[in-house]
Amino acid sequence: SQKIEQNSEALNIQEGKTATLTCNYTNYSPAYLQWYRQDPGRGPVFLLLIRENEKEKRKERLKVTFDTTLKQSLFHITASQPADSATYLCALSLGSGGSNYKLTFGKGTLLTVNP
């Protein structure tokens, strides 16, 4: 069966350091992978999308890599700030169109950035 694992349930880092979160999957050939941020009491918010033919994507302090051979994505937050503290979810999809909009989510990693 398809399985998505995020490396740890919780990650604590010091302000200013780079946070690295991992998403691994098995029995899946996603067309693209997405990362979402979820704050307590709120719905997930989209951050970045990376396609199967892309190796890396950046947005401000965020960077995502996608290795379809290793079946792994890494999510980096550089120069982390306490405001980055949240749960980060990875999600996989088969692609665009019709039923392929369906996303399968990992359970998330709770990131805490200590001042």
Partner 1 sequence: DAGVIQSPRHEVTEMGQEVTLRCKPISGHNSLFWYRQTMMRGLELLIYFNNNVPIDDSGMPEDRFSAKMPNASFSTLKIQPSEPRDSAVYFCAIHQAGGAGRKDTQYFGPGTRLTVL
Report yes or no: 49 and 74 within 8 Å, Cβ to Cβ: no
Q: Can you tell me which of 22, 24, 104, 112 binds partner 1, judged by CB under 8 A?
A: 104
- Maximum Cα–Cα distance for the chain, whole Å? 45
> What DSSP designation does 115 have?
-
> To the nearest whole angstrom, how small is the minimum distance from the Cβ of residue 99 to partner 1?
6
Q: Can you tell me which of 65, 80, 106, 109 binds partner 1, judged by CB under 8 A?
A: 106
Q: Can you tell me which of 11, 13, 49, 110 binds partner 1, judged by CB under 8 A?
A: 49
Is 103 one of the binding residues for partner 1 (CB under 8 A)?
Answer: yes
> To the nearest whole angstrom, how small is the minimum distance from the Cβ of residue 15 to partner 1?
27
Q: Which of residues 9-28 bind partner 1 (CB under 8 A)?
A: none
Contacts for 5 with CB less than 8 Å, ≥ 6 apart? 23, 24, 25, 106
| Distance, CA of 54 to CA of 67 (rounded, Å) | 9
Q: Can you tell me which of 3, 55, 58, 107 binds partner 1, judged by CB under 8 A?
A: 107
Strand positions, DSSP E, the chain: 3-6, 10-14, 19-26, 32-38, 45-51, 56-59, 62-67, 72-77, 86-93, 103-105, 109-114
Q: Can you tell me which of 43, 53, 60, 69 binds partner 1, judged by CB under 8 A?
A: 43
Q: Give the footprint of partner 1 on this chain (CB under 8 A).
A: 32, 34, 41-46, 49, 89, 93, 95-96, 98-99, 101-108
